[in-house]
Amino acid sequence: MSGFWPTEEQAAIREAVGRICADFDDEYWRRTDETGDFPEGFVAAMAAGGWLGVAMPEEYGGAGLGLTEAAHVMQTVTQSGAGFSGASAIHLNIFGLMPVVKFGTDDQKARHLPRIIAGEDKACFAVTEPNSGLDTSSLETRAERKGNGYVINGRKIWTTMAQRANKILLIVRTTPKDQCAKPTQGLSLFYTDFDRSKIDAKPIPKMGRKAVECNMLFIEDLQVPAEDLLGEEGKGFSYLLHGLNPERVLFGAESVGLGRAALAKAAKYAGERVVFGRPIGKNQGIQHPLAKSWAELEAANLMAFKAAALYDAGQDCGAEANAAKYLGAEAGFRACETAVLTHGGMGYAKEYDVERYFRESMLARIAPVSREMILNFIAERVLDLPKSY
């Protein structure tokens, strides 16, 4: 950010991404939401434009830009009306493989990064498990050393895009928890082939974003070569932490974009819908909730880009990144809810799109971390209050 607005380069990024998004209209996203068909055309267009590698190193085909630029790309996508159906289809490509960038060997980076940037590889990220939830230190999926590699067994849940992935970023326990000095030790991170003969992926029917599925994974005797281990064995949790703040910032910025899309629909409808001889937008009962949503979205946006700027400057941004995710998700949700209510009965109709936005807005309130855990973090790390759990 230059002050409180995008630089010329960042504005040009938003314009270029916006032109791509313009080719995928409301009907396109309405159809993917109805059928569950993955938005292959949109992803291909973003890959062709070079946007999947916006934050990846230049030597591997990326643009070498920062989290700020990535946030502009992703916010432009959601704000176009693509919402989280569009953002989630490319989210992992944008910043999800930063553990490979930061901790991979030269060989690993050369083998994997160009393919993910070009869209040739499709990856999924398997962290959460049915019995652990947000308690990553209690993961039960095990990797046991065998010969010149590992054999992995266990379960994962809410793994996005596993139906079409050919690669998987996977965190598992390599040393039993009771043999570690700290619960967060003994976890290792792998980036390996998605072997469908060893991994059974079952989609989870869900509330929204049908086009980008989530899955339950059943992993049985998955053989992984030692060269697919990222960094050192047992340090996977610390590697994972490096990607959490950028993920929170992106979710915050994306939520603001979704809220803006809903707000634009609502304001247009309010200006055109005539009841009792006057547009409903002339009534303060309609105006004030929309105006309040605008203010909340803009405030959340400032926090998201402050956090992104801190990250890009190499500064600590934990509190700001968490706050950005919290504020963006809440403001986005309220904007979407307000948009549905502004439309009245038509807000419940799919043809006006706001019901789709509303369903998708719940995603960022739940994932990738709950609101309550964010508030715990801020209470402990910023306000110096005792740990509550």
Q: How does pLDDT run across 277-307, given as a tens digit for each residue?
A: 999 999 999 999 999 999 999 999 999 999 9
Asked if 309 and 323 touch (Cβ cutoff 8 Å), the reply is: no
Give the separation between CA 367 and CA 374, rounded to whole angstroms. Answer: 11
> Burial level of 323, CB count in 10 A (0-12/13-18/19+)?
buried
- Closest CA relative to residue 66, chosen from 94, 92, 46, 90: 94
**What kind and span of H or E run contains 279?**
strand 278-279
pLDDT at 96: 87
DSSP 213: -
- The CATH class of the 8-118 domain is mainly alpha
Give the separation between CA 28 and CA 44, rounded to whole angstroms. Answer: 15
Counting residues of the chain whose pLDDT is more than 70, the rounded percentage is 99
Q: Tell me: the pLDDT tens digits for 128-152?
A: 999 998 899 999 999 999 999 999 9
Dihedral sign (CA 381, 385, 387, 389): negative
Q: Tell me: the pLDDT tens digits for 43-71?
A: 999 999 999 999 999 999 999 999 999 99
CA distances from 193 to 56, 162, 329, 368 (A): 21, 12, 33, 24
> Which CATH number, 2.40.50.100, 2.40.110.10, 3.90.480.10, 2.60.40.3880, labels domain 123-234?
2.40.110.10
The pLDDT of residue 4 is above 60: yes
Give the pLDDT band (50/70/90) at residue 1: very low
Q: Tell me: the pLDDT tens digits for 154-207?
A: 999 999 999 999 999 999 999 999 999 999 999 999 999 999 999 999 999 999
- Architecture of the domain defined by 238-381: Up-down Bundle (1.20)
CA distances from 207 to 79, 204, 230, 359 (A): 20, 10, 34, 7
pLDDT at 3: 56
At 220, phi and psi to the nearest 5?
Answer: -130, 110
The pLDDT of residue 2 is above 60: no
What's the chain's Rg over C-alpha atoms?
21
Non-local CB neighbours of 375 within 8 Å, separated by 6+ positions: 326
CA distances from 287 to 268, 281, 292, 342 (A): 12, 6, 9, 9
- Model-level pTM? 0.96
The pLDDT of residue 8 is above 90: yes
Mean pLDDT of the chain: 96
Give the pLDDT band (50/70/90) at residue 241: confident
Q: Tell me: the pLDDT tens digits for 81-91?
A: 999 999 999 99
Give the separation between CA 250 and CA 248, rounded to whole angstroms. Answer: 5
Place of tokens 């499709």: 122
Domain ranges of the chain: 8-118, 123-234, 238-381
